[in-house]
Structure 1
Amino acid sequence: MEFLTVKKIFCVTTLVAASLGLSAGASAADGQVNFEGQIITEACQVVNNMSNPAEVALGKVAASALAKKGDTASPQKFILSLKNCPPSVSAAQVSFDGDAATSENNSLALTQVADMATGVGVQISDTSAVLPLRTPSVAYPLTAGVDNDLAFVARYVATTDTVTPGPANAVATFSITYN
């Protein structure tokens, strides 16, 4: 009986020592990241919420207009509206999310349906440039007490050198960060 107790103590001691050795190696640090932010009491009312999504008509575009990778169709403007903004927020940035058409995350993948178009995605831009997915837009200034319209554009972009015709719809969600 005494031999089993000593054996158990030895096993437990060995396990503790091994775990301490592993955790000491895992705690070596090469740098640090500080996360800062604030939870606010109120924010703007998002007009284009999940039950009232913005609709963007990209129109009918000939596959030949998207002849090679990177070609784009005419941009279509769309607005995201924020209203009843409190005086405590002065600017907003928007990040779009969805399935990416390519590894660069610069365009949305098309919604999977029968006979859908291929070789094309939907690209979103803010006032300055193409807006990769999950990347904050420019900061749009907000004014309390008025409707604030945040302007964006969307367009088809060829993701390959061969685009085939068919339905070409996409869906994005968006998040707003207030400054």
Structure 2
Amino acid sequence: MKSYFLKPILCAALLAAGVAHAQSASTNTGRVYMKGKIIASTCEVVVNGQPGAKDATVNMGTYGVADFKKAGDLVGGSGMEGQVKFELTNCPEGKSQAKLQLEATTVSGDKYTIKLDDGSNNAGNVGIQLFDKKEMANPLSLSLVHNYPIDKGTNKATIELVGKYVSLADTVTPGDANGNFNYKISYN
């Protein structure tokens, strides 16, 4: 009686081993290679040709009070005076715009005019306005984000601004005329 039970169990075990061997013979194996790249999330920025510097000093020039005839007169910004140039290189692939945000202490109630730095020897009734070099008709708002295209072929962009003095009254008084602004550049 024992031999009758042993033969079917032995046959079933051999059959199962053969099926397992047949399955492994038809199995495909291989390797998947994962390739990619980690890049900087921002462009490299050079301000006024000074690599690695995030800050820059811009010469605004020297002008006489007689150059300002009435409130709203703009003076300066010619030649290299007042020029601010941001050169963006090695921008991340897939980014199409650089977004420039400007921040400064402004003349009360005026989102376009930077207040002069505090000092006892300051010029009076003068502020500084920034313009996009390609659009000199209107000053840049210090409360908005300004968009500049990134060239998809070169992954570069250039942002050129021009600073000019603006008279805040009909009469300007002499003195130091220094100001500053912060910038933030983001990308999308």
TM-score normalised according to structure 1 size: 0.69
TM-score normalised according to structure 2 size: 0.66
C-alpha contact 2:60 2:163 (8 A) present in aligned 1:
yes
Match of residue 102 from structure 1? 108
Partners in 2 of 1:90 and 1:83 — Cα distance? Answer: 13
Shift of 1:50: 9.7
Unaligned runs of 5+ in 2: 1-39
Partners in 2 of 1:136 and 1:163 — Cα distance? Answer: 31
Match of residue 112 from structure 1? 118
Unaligned runs of 5+ in 1: 1-40
1:74-120 deviation line (CA, Å, top 9, x unaligned) = 32332012222011211112121110023121110001112111100
Match of residue 62 from structure 1? 64
- Judged with a 3 Å threshold, the aligned counterparts in structure 2 of structure 1 residues 154 and 118 are, in CA distance, closer, same or farther, namely same
C-alpha contact 1:44 1:83 (8 A) present in aligned 2:
yes
Match of residue 44 from structure 2? 45
Shift of 1:54: 2.5
Structure-to-structure mapping, 1:66-81, within 5 angstroms: 66-75=68-77, 76-81=82-87
Partners in 1 of 2:96 and 2:171 — Cα distance? Answer: 45
The secondary structure found in structure 2 opposite 1:108 is: strand
The secondary structure found in structure 2 opposite 1:64 is: helix
Q: How many residues align?
A: 139
Partners in 2 of 1:52 and 1:94 — Cα distance? Answer: 14
Q: Which has the larger radius of gyration?
A: 2
C-alpha contact 1:98 1:133 (8 A) present in aligned 2:
yes
- Judged with a 3 Å threshold, the aligned counterparts in structure 2 of structure 1 residues 147 and 177 are, in CA distance, closer, same or farther, namely closer
Runs of 4+ in 1 over 3 A off after TM superposition: 48-52, 144-147
Partners in 2 of 1:107 and 1:82 — Cα distance? Answer: 26
Partners in 2 of 1:87 and 1:173 — Cα distance? Answer: 26
- Judged with a 3 Å threshold, the aligned counterparts in structure 2 of structure 1 residues 109 and 70 are, in CA distance, closer, same or farther, namely same
Q: Which has the higher strand share?
A: 2
Shift of 1:147: 4.8
- Judged with a 3 Å threshold, the aligned counterparts in structure 2 of structure 1 residues 50 and 61 are, in CA distance, closer, same or farther, namely farther
- The alignment status of 1:140 with 2:142, answered yes or no, reads no
- Judged with a 3 Å threshold, the aligned counterparts in structure 2 of structure 1 residues 130 and 85 are, in CA distance, closer, same or farther, namely same
Query: Which amino acid in the other structure matches residue 155 of structure 1?
Result: K
**Higher alpha-carbon deviation: 126-135 or 145-154:** 145-154
Shift of 1:146: 5.5
